[in-house]
């Protein structure tokens, strides 16, 4: 009875919920009357996931878990002691891989500065320098990367301190790398790997010819020691590109000794030396120029049209200025000798002081430039400005004027001060590199160059300016400098192979004028200038008659035999 009742209920339930579907309902639904968005799968009949998927997923998870469990058991149980000891005793250490600096070569292919592997425990290469004298002020020196007591670097780079190492540091310096090593308790390297390889610096070729550099230094050194000069400096520069062919200073330090820092006694001797070997006299030494300033005064007089180049001024050996307050005691300005009647070229050639007194300060009917115009034109030739070669270490130079005298001595400016300034005396001071840039500007008809020690430098104007003038004015001044070599004060430079133009200068020093600076400047070849030069011998005895001209003559004679290609006139 009960079984029939349940059967009936079951049959009725099935009829209620699973009734038969009529054909018209199928066709009606195919029209998508509910407006399902079919692109978003609305109204789609979904198929249920197969029951076989779950057992497969469970099996995969069990396999992965088993692999991890097996590896973990191996590390913790089988090899646990080994790795525990290794983790406790082994150390990871980062090693700085210091990049090697670029090698420095001379234009003639000589290696001037390079790197050598250290025999000690240092992780960086050692810097080595050419052992020939005359290069230290040019190349400079370095400070090595530094560690603290714990062995960590607090300075990770080579620190250039002077010279080419400093000027060309962006080229020479590389980029440091990093190595990771694992060290055992016994100090053995377990593993090591380079995380970041170092990038070495780029090699540089200097415009300097090592042969000329070495010879120029040798002659300056020998003359200093033989004639008791305090020191000296010389520089030779291309008048078109500004490339430095030679640049040296005496006395000098040893680049390698100072870089290594081990010979404390030697380094201390450098600091105690009264002649200051750390002073690069070429760019930082200030010297009274004496008569090498005269060609620039002649140029100014031509520009201001205060005298014709043909007009003659008579030098009797002195210029006498009457004293209205004491007629019996006139002021006398001496010439170094009586030259007679001289025009502009002759005055440059024989270095007549009286001629330049008159065009500088004026005398009787001859108009003078006056101190303001003297300073203006000397500044045009860059004598009071740095050349841009080494902005941090170059000295500016001094051209005295009324303001300078008042600030220095608390006194007014007088005519005699103008006279003395016109011959490169009084308070005037310049550097050799300023002298060579100015001389090159005469040679190339007005282009002021920024000196460079990098080979294949391009011609650049130091201050973005050019001295604009009639070409004739440059030619007159250059003609006077050529005459100085042929028959005047620079006749020691009259050699057969090259036509050289030059100008000497002797600046008196000391309260009793017992010392002198000896100068020579010039250029060659005369007709088509290629190189300009300036040499100064510092503070020698006034009784000595051998000076800077002798240095350049010795160099030219040597070049004639060994490297005549530099002296050819075309």
Domain boundaries, the chain: 93-205, 210-566
Distance CA 264, CA 354 (A): 54
Query: What is the tens place of the pLDDT at every residue in 229-253?
Result: 999 999 999 999 999 999 999 999 9
Q: Does the structure show a pLDDT above 50 at 9?
A: no
Coil, strand or helix: which one is 25? helix
Distance CA 113, CA 102 (A): 8
Band of the pLDDT at 107, cuts 50, 70, 90? very high
Band of the pLDDT at 460, cuts 50, 70, 90? low
Measured CA to CA in angstroms, residue 177 lies from 49, 103, 192, 545 at distances of 56, 19, 14, 59
Band of the pLDDT at 6, cuts 50, 70, 90? very low
Handedness of CA 293, 420, 324, 330 (dihedral sign): negative
What fold is seen in the domain 93-205? Penicillin-binding protein 2a (Domain 2) (3.90.1310)
CA nearest neighbour of 417 among 304, 321, 287: 321
- Please tell me the predicted confidence (pLDDT) of residue 171: 93
The CATH class of 210-566 is: alpha beta
Band of the pLDDT at 123, cuts 50, 70, 90? confident
CA nearest neighbour of 423 among 368, 485, 366, 483: 368
Q: For residue 239, give every residue at least 6 positions away whose Cβ sits within 8 Å of its Cβ, in sequence order, or none.
A: 440, 443, 444, 449, 523, 529, 530, 531, 532
DSSP string, 345-398: HHHHHHT-HHHHHHHHH-BTTB---HHHHHHHHHHHTTTTS--SSSTTT----B
- Kind and range of the H or E element at 140? none
In the block, which residue shows the tokens 């380094």? 267
In the block, which residue shows the tokens 């250290």? 118
**Percent share of the chain, pLDDT over 70:** 83
What average pLDDT score do residues 121-126 get? 79
Q: Does the structure show a pLDDT above 80 at 31?
A: no
In the block, which residue shows the tokens 């009084």? 426
Predicted TM-score of the model (pTM): 0.81
Q: Please, how many CA atoms are within 13 Å of residue 556, restricted to the half-sphere of its CB?
A: 24
Band of the pLDDT at 117, cuts 50, 70, 90? confident
Query: What is the tens place of the pLDDT at every residue in 17-30?
Result: 445 555 555 555 55
> Residues 561, 529: contact at Cβ < 8 Å?
no
Do the strands 313-315 and 142-143 form a parallel or antiparallel pair, or are they unpaired? unpaired
Measured CA to CA in angstroms, residue 455 lies from 151, 204, 283 at distances of 40, 8, 19
Query: What is the tens place of the pLDDT at every residue in 342-383?
Result: 999 999 999 999 999 999 999 999 999 999 999 999 999 999
Q: Does the structure show a pLDDT above 50 at 2?
A: no
Query: What is the tens place of the pLDDT at every residue in 405-417?
Result: 999 999 999 999 9
- Please tell me the predicted confidence (pLDDT) of residue 16: 46
- Please tell me the predicted confidence (pLDDT) of residue 512: 84
Query: What is the tens place of the pLDDT at every residue in 83-100?
Result: 555 555 556 667 778 889
> Residues 524, 546: contact at Cβ < 8 Å?
no
Q: Of residues 392 and 224, which shows the higher confidence score?
A: 224
State the distance between the two ends of the chain, measured CA to CA, in whole angstroms.
139
DSSP bridge pairs for 503: 521
Q: For residue 37, give every residue at least 6 positions away whose Cβ sits within 8 Å of its Cβ, in sequence order, or none.
A: none
> Residues 503, 490: contact at Cβ < 8 Å?
yes
Query: What is the tens place of the pLDDT at every residue in 434-447?
Result: 999 999 999 999 99
Backbone angles phi, psi at 407, to 5 degrees: -70, -30
Distance CA 280, CA 252 (A): 8
Q: For residue 253, give every residue at least 6 positions away whose Cβ sits within 8 Å of its Cβ, in sequence order, or none.
A: 136, 141, 270, 277, 278
Query: What is the tens place of the pLDDT at every residue in 174-216?
Result: 898 887 877 665 666 667 777 788 899 999 999 999 999 999 9
What average pLDDT score do residues 223-227 get? 96
Distance CA 146, CA 341 (A): 68
Band of the pLDDT at 14, cuts 50, 70, 90? very low
Distance CA 169, CA 498 (A): 37
Query: What is the tens place of the pLDDT at every residue in 267-320?
Result: 999 999 999 999 999 999 999 999 999 999 999 999 999 999 999 999 999 999
Band of the pLDDT at 13, cuts 50, 70, 90? very low
CA nearest neighbour of 498 among 478, 526, 537: 526
Q: Does the structure show a pLDDT above 80 at 430?
A: yes
If you average pLDDT over every residue of the chain, what do you get? 87
Q: Does the structure show a pLDDT above 70 at 461?
A: no
Band of the pLDDT at 131, cuts 50, 70, 90? very high
Backbone angles phi, psi at 292, to 5 degrees: -65, -10
What letter does residue 276 receive in the DSSP assignment?
A: -
Q: Of residues 26 and 530, which shows the higher confidence score?
A: 530
Do the strands 531-541 and 231-238 form a parallel or antiparallel pair, or are they unpaired? antiparallel
Q: Does the structure show a pLDDT above 90 at 520?
A: yes
- State both tokens at 390: 């080494």
What average pLDDT score do residues 496-521 get? 92
What letter does residue 491 receive in the DSSP assignment?
A: G
CA nearest neighbour of 188 among 85, 89, 322, 290: 89
Distance CA 447, CA 495 (A): 27
- Kind and range of the H or E element at 474? helix 471-487
**Percent share of the chain, pLDDT over 90:** 66
């Amino acid at each position: 009875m009960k079984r029939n009742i349940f059967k009936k209920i079951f049959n009725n339930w099935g009829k209620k919920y699973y009734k038969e579907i009529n054909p018209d309902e199928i066709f009606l639904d195919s029209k998508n009357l509910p407006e399902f968005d079919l692109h978003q799968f609305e109204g789609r009949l979904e198929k249920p996931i197969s029951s076989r998927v779950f057992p497969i997923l469970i099996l995969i998870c069990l396999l992965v878990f088993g692999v991890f469990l097996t590896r973990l058991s191996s590390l913790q149980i089988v090899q646990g002691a080994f790795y525990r000891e290794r983790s406790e005793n082994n150390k990871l250490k980062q090693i700085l891989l210091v990049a090697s600096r670029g090698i420095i070569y001379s234009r003639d292919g000589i290696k001037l500065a390079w790197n050598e592997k250290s025999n000690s425990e240092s992780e960086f290469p050692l810097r080595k320098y050419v052992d020939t004298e005359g290069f230290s002020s040019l190349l400079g020196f370095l400070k090595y990367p530094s560690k603290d007591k714990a062995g960590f670097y607090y300075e990770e780079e080579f620190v250039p301190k002077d010279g080419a190492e400093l000027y060309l540091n962006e080229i020479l310096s590389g980029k440091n790398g990093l190595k990771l090593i694992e060290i055992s308790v016994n100090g053995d390297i377990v593993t090591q790997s380079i995380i970041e390889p170092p990038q070495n610096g780029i090699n540089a070729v200097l415009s300097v010819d090592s042969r000329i550099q070495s010879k120029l230094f040798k002659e300056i050194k020998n003359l200093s020691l033989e004639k008791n000069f305090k020191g000296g400096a010389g520089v030779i520069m291309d008048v078109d590109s500004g490339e430095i062919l030679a640049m040296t200073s005496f006395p000098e330090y040893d680049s390698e000794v100072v870089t290594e820092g081990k010979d404390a006694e030697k380094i201390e001797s450098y600091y105690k030396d009264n002649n200051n070997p750390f002073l690069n006299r070429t760019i930082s030494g200030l010297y009274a120029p004496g008569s090498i300033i005269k060609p620039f005064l002649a140029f100014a007089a031509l520009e201001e049209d205060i005298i014709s180049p043909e007009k003659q001024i008579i030098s009797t050996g002195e210029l006498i200025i009457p004293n209205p307050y004491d007629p019996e005691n006139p002021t006398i300005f001496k010439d170094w000798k009586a030259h007679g009647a001289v025009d502009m070229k002759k005055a440059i050639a024989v270095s007549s002081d009286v001629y330049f007194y008159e065009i500088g300060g004026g005398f009787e009917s001859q108009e003078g430039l006056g101190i303001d115009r003297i300073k203006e034109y000397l500044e045009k030739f860059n004598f009071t400005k740095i050349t841009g070669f080494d902005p941090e270490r170059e000295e500016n130079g001094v051209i005295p004027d009324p303001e300078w005298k008042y600030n220095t001595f608390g006194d007014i400016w007088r005519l005699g001060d103008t006279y003395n300034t016109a011959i490169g005396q009084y308070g005037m001071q310049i550097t050799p590199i300023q002298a060579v840039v100015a001389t090159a500007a005469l040679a190339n008809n007005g282009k002021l160059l920024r000196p460079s020690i990098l080979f294949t430098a391009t011609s650049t104007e130091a201050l973005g300016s050019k001295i604009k003038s009639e070409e004739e004015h440059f030619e007159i001044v250059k003609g006077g400098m050529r005459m100085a070599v042929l028959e005047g004060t620079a006749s020691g430079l009259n050699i057969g192979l090259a036509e050289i133009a030059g100008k000497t200068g002797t600046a008196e020093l000391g309260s009793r004028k017992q010392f002198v600076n000896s100068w020579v400047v010039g250029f060659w070849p005369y007709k088509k200038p290629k190189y300009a030069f300036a040499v100064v011998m510092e503070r020698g005895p006034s009784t000595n008659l051998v000076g800077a001209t002798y240095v350049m003559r010795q160099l030219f004679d040597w070049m004639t035999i060994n490297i005549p290609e530099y002296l050819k006139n075309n």
